[in-house]
Amino acid sequence: MIEAAAALAAAHFAAPLAYYLYARRWLRRPWGVEPREGHTPTITIIIPTYNEAPLIEAKLDDIARQDYPPDKLQIIVVDSASTDGTPEKAERWARQRQAPLEVLREPQRNGKAHALNLALKHARGDIVVITDADSHWPDPQTLRKAARWLADPSVGAVTCLKRPAGGGGVEAAYRDYYNVLRLAESKKWATPIFHGELAAFRKELLEKIGGFPTHLGADDSHTAVLIAAFGYRAIAPEDLHCVELVPRQYWRWRIRRAQHLIQNFAASLRLKTPSRFRPVLYAEAYLHLVNPWLLPAALATALAAGPPGWALAALGLALLAHKPYRTWIAMQMYLMIAALRNLWTKE
Ligand code: GDD
Ligand code: MN
């Protein structure tokens, strides 16, 4: 019994470690794509908003700081019946700045992806960039850099690497592990995890996949997976960074995110994908859908094994004093709670 408990625990920790070490070798590969300096396609930036009045002006200021030819840029705010005056604030911002900004209004709230699909109908750019209101691009060259990568016809989608703003140590430690994986997967072929802070897609591919998926939460990640399934690269290059404001209700937000990722992987496993993408997709699906559950299985087996098993369980608990371990365990808890919560709400 104690052996079984130890084996379950070892398997739980070995899988992500092995994947991490294995994926790190992909970092040394060449990209195999040719980014082109000075490539400036027409871009439509879409900011979906629901009750973002406190943030919308700063977000628009942030975009206005981008160094990109203005005649090649279209900016759309698509709002879904905010009750805090978000669209009016956006319009006022545009008037004061005399900036061209299109504000679209949905009469009722049907979710982010639904709103994105409305905006997509108005998009004139060859590239569509989605960015959440609660995010920020520290580098004024961000759009140019994203465009550079999209100069290569094999690249269908580009996202950023993420840095938390004022999120504290736990969030930051997790991000180190996380960003290495995103980058390595991108070099291998594609990463199945995209970020709402900056998700750039070729518009023709968005049209080909039938717009943003509205049946699940992870619209950005799942869109990237669908594009990769079509044989295009979906990448997070090393020179694109964005910042996300970490909300106050930290762990409710974490669980919602985990729910979205689980929905993404469950749907992605049903797709036919290029063989180069499969190792990444299957590894990530395993880590998100299955691996967390080895922990409670190990704990239950240990507790049933009598005193030696209790000692093992006590060791597992004592290690919580160690921060990276605690961070990891917290993430596993979020994934398990999220899987259960997905049974009754997909939100
Ligand atoms: N128009 C519209 N309609 N916008 C919406 C709606 C809606 O029903 N719901 C949310 N939004 C907007 C928000 O105002 C914000 O600008 C953006 O969509 C993201 O919403 P958040 O509430 O900040 O989502 P999140 O931080 O939990 O999740 C984000 O990141 C995930 C992973 O990176 C989203 O972008 C997710 O789609 C993404 O999977
Ligand atoms: Mn957010």
Q: Is the CB of 260 under 6 A from ligand 1?
A: yes
Q: How confident is the model at residue 232 (pLDDT cuts 50, 70, 90)?
A: very high
Across the range 235-257, mean pLDDT stands at 89
The DSSP code sequence of 119-171 is: HHHH--SSEEEE--TTEE---TTHHHHHHHHHTSTTEEEEE-EEEEES-HHHH
% of the chain at pLDDT higher than 90 = 86
- pLDDT band for position 248 (50/70/90)? confident
The number of the ligand nearest the C-alpha atom of 162 reads: 1
Question: Please, which pLDDT band fits residue 35 given cuts at 50, 70 and 90?
Answer: very high
- Summarize the confidence of residues 74-78 as an average pLDDT: 98
Find the mean pLDDT for residues 54-70.
Answer: 97
Return the residue whose CA atom lies nearest to atom 32 of ligand 1: 195
Residue 125: is its pLDDT beyond 60?
yes
Q: Is the pLDDT of residue 147 over 80?
A: yes
Q: What are the b/e assignments for 52-65, b being 16+ CB within 10 Å?
A: bbebbbebbebbee
> What is the ipTM score, two decimals?
0.97
Provide the pLDDT for residue 334.
Answer: 96
Task: Decide: helix, strand or coil at residue 75.
Answer: strand
DSSP structural state of residue 227: H
Considering only residues 346 and 58, tell me which one the structure prediction assigns the higher pLDDT.
58
Query: For 103-119, what is the mean pLDDT?
Result: 97
Is pLDDT of 317 > 60? yes
Q: Is 250 in the pocket of ligand 1 (CB under 6 A)?
A: no
Ligand minimally distant from the alpha carbon of residue 59? 1
Q: What are phi and psi of 256, to 5 degrees?
A: -60, -45
Average pLDDT of the residues of the chain: 94
- Lowest-confidence region among 45-59, 127-141, 226-240, 321-335: 321-335
Q: Over pLDDT 70: what percentage of the chain?
A: 97
pLDDT at 270: 94
What's phi and psi for 153, nearest 5 deg?
Answer: -65, -15
Q: What tens digit of pLDDT does each residue of 262-274 get?
A: 999 999 999 999 9
What is the longest distance spanned by two Cα atoms in the chain? 73
Q: Which atom of ligand 1 is nearest to the CA of 110?
A: 8
279 CA distance to ligand 2 middle (Å): 29
| Pocket flag, ligand 1, residue 254 (CB < 6 Å) | no
Span from the CA of 67 to the centroid of ligand 1 (angstroms): 25
pLDDT at 251 over 90: no
Residue written as tokens 């016809």?
153
**How far is ligand 2, taken at its centre, from the CA of residue 253, in Å?**
8
Q: What is the pLDDT of residues 328-340, one digit of tens each?
A: 999 999 999 999 9
R_g (Cα) of the chain, nearest Å: 21
Strands, DSSP E only, in 14-72? Answer: 43-49
Per mean pLDDT, which range of 82-91, 156-165, 257-266 is the poorest?
Answer: 156-165
The ligand whose atoms approach the alpha carbon of 82 most closely is: 1
Digit-coded pLDDT (tens) for 285-310:
999 999 999 999 999 999 999 999 99
